[in-house]
Amino acid sequence: MDVRLIEQTCKQTPLYDVCVSILKSDSRSSKADVTGLALIMVDVLKAKATGTTNYIKTLLRGNLKGDVRRGLSSCADLYNTVLEADIPVAIEALQKGDPKFAEQAANDAGIEARSCESSFSGHSPLTESNKSVQDVSSVAAAIVR
């Protein structure tokens, strides 16, 4: 594992600790160049978005107040965009070598997560998930840059 590459790369992101802990615990980073590290981070972003989507589905099965249900439905739609648009665009852009599209897609994932958080007028059941997605999104966007 090229620890130095990971540390150097993570230093250029806004959340060094988040970045390092994710990359060091992922076995794929041992053989990765910077583009490879970016792809790993995008994959982690995908996993977090998938996890949040599943959690939303679970919550929606329960007995909920109108405004919470509405917020969760908005979030389901927003996370669908992350999974169906942002992640595939980021992966393709990194693989084919047009990083600006990957950066914008990774960044957008954070925007959708933030928008989800604002969908709740009262208490949000997704605060931790949304924050986690926003964090990974900002790290992924920075690595791509």
Partner 1 sequence: MAISSAWLVFCFLLLRHAVVELEASHHVYRNLQVSSSPSEHQPYRTSYHFQPPQNWINDPNGPMIYRGLYHLFYQYNPKGAVWGNIVWAHSTSTDLVNWTPHEPAIYPSQQSDINGCWSGSTTILPWGTPVILYTGIDPQDQQVQNLAIPKNLSDPYLREWVKSPKNPLMAPTSANQINASSFRDPTSAWLGPDGTWRVIIGSKRHTRGLAILYRSKDFIRWVKSQHPLHSAKDTGMWECPDFFPVLVNSELGVDTSIMGPDVKHVLKVSLDNTKHEYYTIGTYNLGKDNYVPDKGQVDSDSGLRYDYGKYYASKTFFDSAKNRRILLGWINESSSVNDDIKKGWSGVQAIPRILWLDTSGKQLVQWPIREIEKLRGHEVHLPKQVLEGGSALEVSGVTAVQADVEVSFGISELEKAEVLNPSWTNPQELCSKKGASVKGGLGPFGLLVLASKGLQEYTAVFFRIFKGHNKYVVLMCSDQSRSSLNNNNDKTNYGAFLDVDPSREKVSLRSLIDHSIVESFGGKGKACITARVYPTLAIDDKAHLHVFNNGTENVQFTLSAWSMKKARLDLESKL
Site string for partner 1, 86-115 (x = CB under 8 A): x-xx--xx-xxxxxxx---x--x--xx-xx
Q: Which is nearer to partner 1, 13 or 22 (CB)?
A: 13
Structure tokens at 105: 């897609």
The CA distance from 25 to 37, in Å, is: 12
Q: Does residue 50 belong to the site contacting partner 1 (CB under 8 A)? A: no
Site string for partner 1, 26-45 (x = CB under 8 A): ---------x----------
Q: Which residue in the block uniquely carries the two structure tokens 């992640």?
A: 87
| Least distance between partner 1 and beta carbon 53 (Å) | 13
Judged by CB under 8 A, the number of residues near partner 1 is 27
Chain residues binding partner 1 by CB under 8 A are 35, 77-78, 80-81, 84-86, 88-89, 92-93, 95-101, 105, 108, 111-112, 114-115, 118, 145
